[in-house]
Amino acid sequence: MSKKEAAKDAPETKKSTEDMILDFGKGKYTAIPMAALWAKELKKREENRHLTPAELLDLALREVLNGQVDWKDLKKAAVVAPADVKAE
């Protein structure tokens, strides 16, 4: 197997966050507010309780930049969030 074939078969390396921001098709200035809102949502989830704020923000930013989270998902989370808060 040649080196070129081996490179094609190798798993894709993890892109840096900076590269992902620059390659984001919807504009880097929309990605940051989306990631901030998504980080707040991730913080509420039990499986993310052990993560530091920096790790939460990195996870949220990566999910937004990979296209796993969109404005629709953020709107759904915002609609569900007020129901979670108990009225006093």
pLDDT of residue 17: 76
Burial 1-38 (b: 16+ CB within 10 A, else e): eeeeeeeeeeeeeeeeeeebbeebeeeeeebeebbebb
pTM (predicted TM-score) = 0.66
pLDDT digits (tens, 9 = 90+) for 28-81: 788 888 888 999 999 988 998 899 999 999 999 888 888 888 888 888 887 776
